[in-house]
Chains A and B, each alone.
Chain A
Amino acid sequence: MSSNFGATVSLPPSSAPALRAWRPRWRLPLQWLWAWPFPLAVLLLWHLSSALGWAPEQVLPPPAQVFRTFADMVASGEIWSNLTISLVRVFTGFGIGLLGGLVLGSVMGLSPTARDYLYPLFKAFAQVPVIGWLPLLMLLVGIDEALKFLLIAKATLVPVTLNTCQGIQGVPNRFIEVARVYGFTRWQMLTRVVFPAATAPIWNGVRYGLTHAWLALVVVELLASSEGIGFLIVYGRQLFQLDVVLASVLAVGIVGFAIDKLLSLTEAWLLRWRRPGL
């Protein structure tokens, strides 16, 4: 085993640049095939463990049953109705957080005075994670929709604000100088120079924001909800129906995957102007 490592380390074979993003490369169909043996082996092991009675069904339901339950829940609309509720919550909270984060981040990025006043309080607010604010907000606003919106908004607000602020501060001075030379107005300066130059870091914040929003949603629904995809998980757990739990976890994973794909597609579209440059 160690000799195998040695061979790989001391000389990376022919192709592949040293710096690569972690992303499955869909282009090569052969590469794609290699992804399958491992999950299939796990699935087989899982199947065997329930078929041969290594693990009782209450603890680990067989994979076939989980998929059947998933299909049933899709067919009966149970997954859809709960997922719709969850997605409305995520995107409402995300929208509020995004708007607030963009405004707050821009204000702090553009005005050093505003930053002096706001940043320490913001930092203290950000220091306590969503999950820390949860009991406090449950006391203040109850466990209705407002709680979900506020917590998801908080989860979005923090990364968006930070990245927007840093992105705007990171715009190179020479860009501003050129714009001054051209006699740009304040508005032109913002729309033509500052925001386009800060798009990449701001987008990064949006990306983190949506990922955190989805994470926050699951937490809130696990703890305080009577509907939604997170509630399905808790509900299944309470009834000791682990097939329902696993089917819901599967749904959570699929949505997470879809959000990730959506984000990278949007990113490609948003930053398309950067491609031909370098």
Chain B
Amino acid sequence: MSRTYFLSSVPPALRGWVLPALILLFWWWAVASGWSTSPLLVSPAAVWDRALQQITSGDLWTALSASLWRNARGFLLGSSAGLAVGVLLGWSRWAERLVGPSFHTLKQISLFAWIPMLSMWFGLGDGAKVAFIAMAAFFPMVLNTYEGLRSVPREYIEVGRVYGFGLWQQLTRVIAPSAAPSVFTGLQLALIYSWLATLGSEYLMASGAGIGNTLIDGREHFQMDLVLFGVAVIGLVGYALNAFTAALERRLLAWRDRTVARY
């Protein structure tokens, strides 16, 4: 009973910090007391120093900007191609019948299995990496665009026709707004997948700069502090990408909150 009392006596806002603080404390203690002498057990201070060194020397910036630039190109390429194919599949029943099943089958192949093929076709340079990132962004984008278009309620289109909307008006006033949330989900997934693909391509085609290369280097030289720092950077970038799309969604799809049709 007293233990439960202790757990609930901590103010809710601070509860999330208890476990991380305990882990940090244990980590610090494990190094300081010499509990383990493994060379892999670096102190929290060493990781901090490494972080400072990476930031001030510009190494982090070089790696991160290379990764993000790669990511952006692949993402733009893949998501715009995915949008086009998704619209085609969603609009034309013929396209869906002809290409849909093939697409659905192709999607079953685990994405990373393509890397060795791509490296053969595009070389080990940036081309293959960008092509792979584009593939990663392509699939979720197609799926969600297709579903967005297909789930436009027929009634909406009928109302549009009653008002005598032309094709352009149907598209901009009815179909696009109605499909937008699903398309946006696709965009969000495409961004996450392309970030994963960026890391994967940098591991498997380890040439040039990139945050994935930083991690692989750290592992090869048994520099635990560098690896831990890299993991933290990857987490932060992922977090920033998520926060960015969430903010964008709130802004672009703000009209959803103002309509009556909010369930």
Contact = CB atoms under 8 A, between A and B. Distances in A.
Q: Do A and B bind each other?
A: yes
A8 B157 contact: no
A128 B235 contact: yes
Interface in A120-160: 120-121, 124, 127-129, 131-136, 138-140
Contact of B91 (A8, A134, A256): A8
A234 B116 contact: yes
Interface residues of A, number: 68
Interface in A25-46: 31, 34-35, 37-39, 42
B183 interface: no
Contacts of B102: 35, 38-39, 42
A103 interface: no
Nearest to A129: B196
Contacts of A99: none
A278 interface: no
Interface in B132-187: 143, 146-147, 150-154, 157, 161, 167, 170-171, 175
Nearest to B154: A18
A80 interface: no
Interface string A222-249: 1100000010011011001010011011
A91 interface: no
A5 B166 CA distance: 12
Contact of B222 (A60, A139, A215): A139
A246 B118 CA distance: 11
A18 B153 contact: yes
Contacts of B105: 39, 253, 257
A5 B92 contact: yes
A24 interface: yes
Interface in A20-71: 20, 22-24, 31, 34-35, 37-39, 42, 59-60
A20 B203 CA distance: 39
A11 B119 contact: no
Nearest to B149: A9
A139 B227 contact: yes
A129 B234 contact: yes
B110 interface: yes
A218 interface: yes
B91 A237 contact: no
Nearest to A230: B113
Contacts of A234: 116
Interface in B35-65: 40
A9 B175 contact: yes
Contacts of B219: 135-136, 138-139
B256 interface: no
A135 B230 contact: yes
A24 B100 contact: yes
Interface of A: 2, 4-6, 8-13, 18-20, 22-24, 31, 34-35, 37-39, 42, 59-60, 113, 116-121, 124, 127-129, 131-136, 138-140, 214-215, 217-219, 222-223, 230, 233-234, 236-237, 240, 242, 245-246, 248-249, 252-253, 256-257, 260
